[in-house]
């Protein structure tokens, strides 16, 4: 592939960061996916981007499928290719986007793993014997109370919390801000943690959650602490931070049946993303049906 063709990729990554304001994690994923696509184009002896056509993009997806990649991963790679082609369209390099109508082979939809209400209660019922325990309880209560993503929790600043109003301001995907309620248990846990935080945090540190060194707590540290508490509390399955968000959505839907409301709280752009949480509501719906429908009542 010609050098000037490859030069478009760094410009595209800069575009993602500065203009589309995508997270560093998303930009890195796009970079990895495009590296795979470039390797494929080299194998196909593509000399410049204007030679790229629908046939080649479809062949790329087919090759990834043959190599055992999941449908979701192929779709993510195709999304990176489409986004890159849109950039090339804007730059006048392409006249059409050859990736527009290419879809990944349908795969088996994975349902989110959740904890039931009893498991969640057991996980969160532990003594806080030191500052780090107090911090861990506060961050886990907040994850479950407000359905935050791990990245959203990590970047929370003190100014984002309003304990008096019982809300938290969250910067979600696409730099979209939303205000989410905070439950009573989380408010109590956060109040205790903020009093302990003073002894740990550096004078200029704005992060809500900090580590031993007084600086912002990272995502990996949170994952390890959550997994540790799950083992100590005898949950019996591996637990990761995103399970709190899945459990939040599922439990809220079971109680409220307000799909739109849960969509807003989660910060989903499309309600179809939220609908995946309805799969766990079947048992509740069956009980409601049996209790309420005139033709469903069982004979004694």
Q: How many residues does the chain have?
A: 300
> Which of 15, 135, 245, 251 is flagged as catalytic?
245
Q: How high is the pLDDT of residue 279?
A: 60
> Which of 173, 185, 240, 257 is flagged as catalytic?
173
β-bridge mates for residue 171, sequence order: 177
Annotation says 173 is catalytic? yes
pTM of the model: 0.61
Annotation says 25 is catalytic? no
Annotation says 242 is catalytic? yes
Q: What sign for the dihedral angle of Cα 51, 53, 59, 61?
A: positive
Q: How high is the pLDDT of residue 5?
A: 59
Q: How high is the pLDDT of residue 186?
A: 94
**Is the Cβ–Cβ distance between 148 and 138 less than 8 Å?**
no
Q: How high is the pLDDT of residue 215?
A: 95
Q: How high is the pLDDT of residue 238?
A: 93
Tens of pLDDT along the chain (300 residues) come to 444 557 788 888 888 888 888 778 888 888 999 999 988 988 888 888 888 899 999 999 999 988 888 888 888 899 999 999 999 999 888 889 998 888 877 665 566 788 888 999 999 999 999 999 999 999 999 999 998 999 999 999 999 999 999 999 998 887 888 998 999 999 999 999 999 999 999 889 999 999 999 999 999 999 999 999 999 999 999 999 999 998 888 888 777 777 787 788 887 777 777 776 766 555 555 555 666 666 555 544
Annotation says 268 is catalytic? yes
Cα–Cα distance, 182 to 144 (Å, whole number): 9
> Which of 36, 169, 178, 242 is flagged as catalytic?
242
Helix axes 131-146, 242-256, angle to 10 degrees: 40
Q: Where are the alpha helices (DSSP H) in the chain?
A: 3-6, 8-18, 24-43, 54-66, 71-90, 117-124, 131-146, 150-154, 184-197, 219-232, 242-256, 259-266, 271-274, 282-292
Q: How high is the pLDDT of residue 300?
A: 43
> Which of 149, 197, 246, 251 is flagged as catalytic?
149
**Is the Cβ–Cβ distance between 152 and 243 less than 8 Å?**
no
Annotation says 106 is catalytic? no
Annotation says 195 is catalytic? no
Q: How high is the pLDDT of residue 290?
A: 67
């Amino acid at each position: 592939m010609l050098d000037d063709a490859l030069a478009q990729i760094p410009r595209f990554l800069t575009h993602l960061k500065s203009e589309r304001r995508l997270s560093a994690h998303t930009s890195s994923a796009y970079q990895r996916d495009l590296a795979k696509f470039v390797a494929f184009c080299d194998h196909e002896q593509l000399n410049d981007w204007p030679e790229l056509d629908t046939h080649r993009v479809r062949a790329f997806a087919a090759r990834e499928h043959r190599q055992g990649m999941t449908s979701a991963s192929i779709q993510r790679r195709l999304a990176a290719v489409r986004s890159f082609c849109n950039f090339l369209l804007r730059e006048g390099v392409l006249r059409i986007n050859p990736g527009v109508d290419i879809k990944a082979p349908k795969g088996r939809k994975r349902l989110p793993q959740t904890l039931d209400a009893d498991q969640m209660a057991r996980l969160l019922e532990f003594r806080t014997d030191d500052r780090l325990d107090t911090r861990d309880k506060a961050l886990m209560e907040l994850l479950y109370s407000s359905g935050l993503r791990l990245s959203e929790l990590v970047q929370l600043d003190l100014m984002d919390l309003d304990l008096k109003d019982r809300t938290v301001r969250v910067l979600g995907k696409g730099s979209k801000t939303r205000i989410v309620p905070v439950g009573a248990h989380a408010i109590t846990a956060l109040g205790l943690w903020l009093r302990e935080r003073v002894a740990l945090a550096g004078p200029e540190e704005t992060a809500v959650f900090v580590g031993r060194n007084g600086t912002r707590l990272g995502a990996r540290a949170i994952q390890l602490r959550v997994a540790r508490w799950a083992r100590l509390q005898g949950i019996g399955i591996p637990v990761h931070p995103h399970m709190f968000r899945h459990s939040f959505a599922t439990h809220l839907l079971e109680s409220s049946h307000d799909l739109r409301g849960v969509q807003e709280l989660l910060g989903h752009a499309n309600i179809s993303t939220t609908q995946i949480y309805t799969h766990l509501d079947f048992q509740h719906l069956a009980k409601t049906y049996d209790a309420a429908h005139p033709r469903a009542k069982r004979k004694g």
